[in-house]
Amino acid sequence: MIELKPDDTLRHLTHAIQRLPARLAAAALALSLTACHDPGRQNPAAIYEEASAAPYQSEVDEGFGAAVAILVDTSGSMRDNALGDSRPKAIVAREALDAMFDATESLVAKRPGFAVKVGIYSFSSDASTVLPMQSFDRSAIRKALDQVPQPGGGTAIGEAMRTARPDLYRSGVFRKYLLVVTDGENTSGRSPAQVANEIFQKSEGAVEIYFVAFDTSADRFEFLKQVRGDVMGAGNGPELRKALDEIYQGRILAEASALAEREPGAR
């Protein structure tokens, strides 16, 4: 077995790093220099693993389209009736989300080659996946919205964002969005401000974050400005539908569609 001197180790690692994607190379080089000053600290395999885990790097080839993770609040307060309505906020929110997807159905019909992917997640005291991220399927979305858990428990907004994040990274499209509908502040798990900052930093701004503050103060989510996100307030059902339409149709679908239109050869 041939022993490599520190200089030889650095040379081999440098060649390996040059074959890494640009965003991984810087992190890998920094780690390799540290390891070569202290050979007993890390081996090359560990260095590569840390470099791979540190920055965001899509796990699949990406194309034009939009991936949207919908995060639905199912905390106990969503049992309360919506303002000016005899129905719970949970039902009003599900109906508004279902109506929101009519715009997607129309877009897909006009441009069948345009990729729209949707994932649905719910959160109370913890988070769960209701519909894994997949290509737009209207019937699957309706079924998933009907399967959103009944309200009860706390409000784990940050944990829901962490649950949805990997699905967005593996979605296979350039434009990625988190859309959160909630009627309260975080009461369980990591704070949404912390998770939003992590997503912004690690994805290099590739994931855009929107909140709709339903029957609660939008000021609770001012942190979104720091990660180039946005929040809209909605006091009742009609305002909720309007806010969702503005974010989803006016920003998410419009932006992703315009980007695809600029691609050479796009129809």
18 vs 129, residue with greater confidence: 129
Q: Which range has the worst mean pLDDT, 6-10, 71-75, 131-135?
A: 6-10
Burial annotation 36-70 (CB, 10 A radius, 16+ → b, else e): beeeeebebeebbeebeebbbbbeeebebbbbbbb
- Check pLDDT > 60 for residue 249: yes
Q: Please write the tens of the pLDDT for every residue from 84-102.
A: 999 999 999 999 999 999 8
- Check pLDDT > 70 for residue 80: yes
Tell me the pTM. 0.76
Cα-Cα-Cα-Cα dihedral sign, residues 237, 239, 240, 244: positive
Q: Please write the tens of the pLDDT for every residue from 112-140.
A: 778 899 999 999 999 999 999 999 999 99
Terminal CA-to-CA distance of the chain, rounded, Å? 59
- What is the pLDDT averaged over residues 55-74? 79
Q: What percent of the chain has pLDDT over 70?
A: 74
Under DSSP, is residue 93 helix (H, G, I), strand (E, B) or coil? Answer: helix
Q: State the pairing for strand pair 63-73/115-123.
A: parallel
